[in-house]
């Protein structure tokens, strides 16, 4: 492996390389050597930016979590427009891309990674927990606008939607469900609580 070659935004390149390895070969193949080989750099580059490989993996997951903030804000801002089921279908489809599904598998399969993530996500499965909070905030905004029943339990509906969608998207090798399948799942979960679709 070449040394002394400057990398632009090494962290981003290493994260992108890790995602490619994760998608192609799965969580068990994700090693520091696999990541640096995929990124085309020496192993020392990874260790220059991260304390160890589990620190790298924790930051990879946190990077993915940070992307949820923008999605969550956009989803909340959409409240009161379009249809509730339409917004949730789009949000869940966007959320559960192949990388997110693979990252959930990575978190579940690595004890040390989960232990490190517990420092910032003390309960639940990181990414799924934050996604449920995003959906709950959106449902609350819709309830405040009268588009969800006043007595709707958004704190139960949100993880139900996340769990249902995760099961639909969980096969990282297969073809993702189409929008119609996701929409049907959303409308089934929300049956009886929406007032405006």
CATH of the domain spanning 1-49: 1.10.10.60
Q: What value does the mean pLDDT take over residues 41-69?
A: 91
Q: What CATH number matches the domain at 64-189, 1.20.120, 1.10.357, 3.40.190, 1.10.3470?
A: 1.10.357
Q: What is the dihedral of CA 135, 137, 143, 144, to 10 degrees?
A: -160
* Residue 147 · residue 83 · CB < 8 Å: no
Which position has the higher pLDDT, 9 or 20? Answer: 20
pLDDT band of residue 127 (cuts 50, 70, 90) is: confident
Of the segments 82-91, 111-120, 124-133, which one has the largest average pLDDT value? 82-91
Which position has the higher pLDDT, 46 or 1? Answer: 46
- pLDDT exceeds 50 at position 5: no
| Portions of the chain given CATH number 1.10.10.60 | 1-49
Q: What is the pLDDT of residues 12-52, one digit of tens each?
A: 999 999 999 998 998 889 999 999 999 999 989 998 999 99
| Portions of the chain given CATH number 1.10.357 | 64-189
Rounded-to-integer distance, Cα 140 and Cα 76, Å: 9
The length of the chain, given as a count of residues? 197
């Amino acid at each position: 492996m070449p040394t002394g070659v400057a990398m632009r935004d090494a962290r981003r390149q290493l994260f992108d390389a890790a995602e490619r390895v994760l998608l192609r070969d799965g969580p068990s193949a994700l090693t520091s050597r696999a990541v640096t080989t995929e990124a085309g750099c020496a192993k020392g580059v990874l260790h220059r930016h991260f304390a160890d490989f589990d620190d790298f993996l924790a930051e990879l997951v946190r990077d993915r979590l940070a992307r949820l903030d923008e999605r969550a804000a956009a989803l909340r801002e959409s409240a009161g427009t379009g249809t509730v089921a339409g917004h949730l279908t789009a949000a869940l489809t966007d959320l559960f891309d192949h990388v997110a599904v693979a990252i959930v598998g990575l978190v579940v399969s690595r004890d040390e990674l989960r232990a490190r993530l517990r420092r910032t996500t003390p309960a639940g499965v990181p990414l799924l927990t934050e996604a449920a909070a995003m959906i709950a905030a959106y449902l609350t905004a819709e309830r405040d606008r009268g588009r969800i029943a006043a007595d709707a339990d958004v704190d139960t509906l949100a993880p139900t939607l996340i769990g249902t969608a995760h099961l639909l998207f969980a096969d990282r090798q297969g073809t993702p469900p189409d929008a119609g399948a996701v929409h049907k799942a959303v409308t089934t979960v929300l049956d009886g609580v929406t007032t405006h679709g």
